[in-house]
Structure 1
Amino acid sequence: MLRPPHALLLALLPLPGLMAAGVHQHGVAQLDLVIEPPLIAVAFSSPLANLTGFEHAPSTADEQQIWDRALAQLRRSEELIRLPAAADCSLSRADLHLPFIPETGQQTSTQAHAHDHAHEGSDTGHHADLMAEYQYLCANSAALEALEFPLMQVFPAIERLDIQSITPTGQHRHTLTHGQTRL
């Protein structure tokens, strides 16, 4: 079957549409993965409480520090997603979709392309989710035999990571729990 290069990946982006439909469960995060060589797209979504311990805009200096630390960790994709060195992948895009506009308003990132997006009107004082999207280009996609997702080590309040993936071999579902990082 002949298809345009990267048609599957392009059809699925932006990834928010791929994310599990509105599930908000503390202790659980979702990760969607699309591999369409040479591209890899990852979308990670979690209740904000899993990442910071609260689900509202930071209101104290301590909460602001926790918020800033969580955002900094999410911007360091190499600590959250480990691709095999032999695949020779490079991050081409990183986006954070924030549940509210941060006080600092700063967009600091060392990535090739990074944006923080706030969703206005979503700071209702109830449930808040944060999503991060990462896109990679890999020079040797054949080496993508296993991926590491140490998210639960970085954010220990995540007890379960539900993964949906679309790869050249088909659609897959996986669940990782504490102590498991390899897919």
Structure 2
Amino acid sequence: MRSSTKTGIALTAALLALPVYAQNPLNSHSHGSATVQLVQRDQELVIYVRATGIDMLGVGHLPTTTEEQAKLSQVQGSMRNPGYWIGLPAAAGCSMTRYYPSQHPVVAGRGALQEMSPGKVYESNGEHMDLNFTYHFQCNSPNQLNSAQIRLFEHFPSLQSVNVKIAGFNQTVVTVGPDNPVVQIP
């Protein structure tokens, strides 16, 4: 198996495990805050973003009306462009190779449920919704990936903080806000 394939598999496995942190207070379903996880290995960068539906859509439940479903489509379309919500150093030469939007219902006392499937009907009584976005990048000069500007605050004004978890050679957790949106990547 090629080294790049092994790296991709390892990063994907690590990323898939990240939502398991739901019991961690930094990752809990909390209005006004979002989570960004950056995982870097060699030239590959994977970013996972999670925020509540209320912060991203203006409604905290599963979209049921035509207007709510249109807003969800609009947000997912905007988030498809990583430059919309995050600024990475141009010198790092990172280009997106894959993008996965998803949504998860969250039930009080039970945490996040499985990813929602298109076309499946979900009960919405008492449920909240988290939106999740996963991005894979290839970076030509990963040593230049030394910071990231979180622009979520510009588009989702109810967000007061973003908890950023960085895993790579070093690991750290930082909280940024509208007045200090830049994260230094060790």
TM-score range, shorter chain: 0.7 to 0.9
Q: Which residue of 2 aligns with 1:154?
A: 155
% same residue: 23
Aligned: 1:82 with 2:84: no
Change (3 A) 1:144 1:52: same
Write out per-residue CA displacement over residues 98-134 of structure 1, whole angstroms, 9 at most, x where no aligned residue: 247xxxxxxxxxxxxxxxx634565533211111001
Alignment of 1:5-44 (within 5 A): 6=7, 9-14=11-16, 16-17=18-19, 19-21=21-23, 23-44=28-49
Q: CA deviation at 1:156?
A: 1.2
Instruction: Specify the SS of the correspondent of 1:14.
Output: helix
Distance in 2 (CA, whole Å) between partners of 1:153 and 1:28 is 14
More helix by share: 2
**1: CA distance, partners of 2:65 / 2:19:** 34
The answer as to whether partners of 1:81 and 1:149 remain within 8 angstroms in 2 is: yes
Alpha carbons of 1:167 and 1:24: their partners in 2 closer, same or farther (altered >3 Å)? same
Q: Let me know the Cα RMSD of the aligned residues.
A: 2.5
Within 5 Å, which residues of 2 pair with 1:57-136?
A: 57-99=62-104, 118-119=116-117, 123-125=123-125, 126-136=127-137
- Normalised TM-score (structure 1): 0.77
Q: Take 1:16 and 1:171, find their aligned partners in 2: how far apart are those partners?
A: 14
Contact 2:89-2:147 within 8 A present in 1 as well: yes
User: Which structure: greater strand fraction?
Assistant: 2
Alignment: residue pair count: 164
Report the Cα distance in structure 1 between the residues aligned to 2:122 and 2:70, rounded to whole angstroms.
21
Structure 1 residues 24 and 59: alpha-carbon distance in aligned structure 2, compared to 1, 3 A threshold: same
